[in-house]
Amino acid sequence: MVNVYDAKTFEVKWPLGHTDPVRSVCFSPCGEKIASGGGPHIGSTKINKDFSIRIWDAKTGEQIGSPLRGHGDAVSSLVFKPDDPNVLVTGSWDKTVKLWDLSTSTCLSTMRGHSKDNEECTCKHGQYPCDYEANPDCPVRAHSERVTAVAWSPCGRWLASGGDDCMVYVKDAKT
């Protein structure tokens, strides 16, 4: 559940519903939309876990479009592009960062870290986690553990993400 409060009175304006706990929430730059990200309780044995991202109309409390699905674990962080409220970046415990086009409800790109599931990763995959220390030439520059924070520079060009691998990665959002 996401509660939207009047910041002066702390009265609840809209209760916005997910079907699992909410891990992240943010407003679009001009305040017209709200995004929220779901993720079940740790250890949940529920079959249909809600890792969705939902977009809401901040004026009416109505959900906009269908939930965005694609993350395989909790959506720990999300933020709108400062100069384009139709673009959202999300970070997840599934170790990926995703860019979304909200006008078409599609995932534009997924940033994956060192893993055997990532074809760009040239680390030795005989072990987990990947031995990046021994393979510094691996071209992958993304998280090998849970992503816990995402941020966008005010100019909209640079994306930053932080994770349980003790790293912050900064990426040019144009590439």
Smallest separation (angstroms) from Zn ion to the CB of 76: 22
| Cβ proximity to Zn ion, 119 vs 172, nearer residue | 119
- Residues sharing a CB contact under 8 Å with residue 4, sequence separation 6 or more, in sequence order: 12, 13, 14, 15, 16, 34, 58, 61
C-alpha–C-alpha distance, residues 163 and 11, integer Å: 34
- Comparing CB distances to Zn ion, the nearer of 50 and 165 is 165
Instruction: Indicate the SS3 state at residue 117.
Output: coil
By CB under 5 A, name the binding residues for Zn ion. 114, 121, 123, 130, 138, 140
Task: CB nearer to Zn ion: give 108 or 134.
Answer: 134
Minimum CB separation of residue 74 from Zn ion in Å reads 24
Q: How far is the CB of 126 from Zn ion (least distance, A)?
A: 13
Residue 110 CB, shortest distance to Zn ion, in Å, is: 15
Determine the number of helices (DSSP H) and then strands (DSSP E) in the chain.
0, 13
Pull the structure tokens for residue 160: 């930053």
